[in-house]
């Protein structure tokens, strides 16, 4: 089991229900492939550095999880097929990145 982090940007014209439905869909895909979800973060509506699909903002979400490497391919295929997803990035975390992510989670818990 490898440790991964995926950030994806949703189209800003989606309603609150559509956003929740989309996030749940991708969480369910990961869990059905055997992922153990460590953290989910909703970063909210953010201004983009450059326009994507003629949009200047998007809803950012982050998933941190452990899963076998082969399942990542299925997740990214689903991202490419979904018009609600503007961009996504999945990275494998090494021990230093895992420690940093844990510090970020703890910091977020204190401010929440």
Residues 6+ apart with CB under 8 A from 79: 8, 26, 85, 88
pLDDT band at 112 (very low <50, low <70, confident <90, very high): low
CATH of the domain at 52: 3.30.70.60
Give the pair of three-digit tokens for residue 15: 């309603």
Torsion of CA 93, 95, 100, 105, to 10 degrees: 70
Give the pair of three-digit tokens for residue 21: 């439905």
Q: Tell me the average pLDDT across 12-41.
A: 95
Integer CA distances (angstroms), 93 to 23, 96, 97, 101, 102, in order: 21, 8, 5, 9, 12
pLDDT band at 26 (very low <50, low <70, confident <90, very high): very high
- Dihedral over Cα of 66, 69, 74, 78: its sign: positive
The pTM is what?
A: 0.90
Number of domain units in the chain? 1
Instruction: State the DSSP code for 107.
Output: H
What was the pLDDT predicted at 107?
84
Q: Tell me the average pLDDT across 24-39.
A: 94
Q: Tell me the average pLDDT across 59-74.
A: 93
pLDDT band at 104 (very low <50, low <70, confident <90, very high): confident
Q: 96: domain range?
A: 2-111
């Amino acid at each position: 089991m490898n440790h991964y982090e995926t950030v994806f940007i949703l189209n800003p014209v989606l309603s609150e229900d559509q956003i929740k439905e989309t996030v749940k869909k991708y969480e369910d895909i990961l869990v059905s492939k055997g992922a153990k979800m460590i953290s989910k973060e909703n970063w909210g509506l953010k201004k983009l550095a450059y326009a994507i699909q003629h949009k200047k903002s998007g809803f950012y979400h982050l998933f941190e999880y452990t899963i076998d490497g082969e399942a990542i391919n299925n997740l990214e295929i689903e991202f490419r097929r979904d018009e609600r997803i503007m961009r996504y990035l999945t990275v494998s975390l090494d021990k230093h990145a895992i420690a940093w992510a844990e510090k970020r989670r703890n910091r977020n818990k204190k401010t929440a």
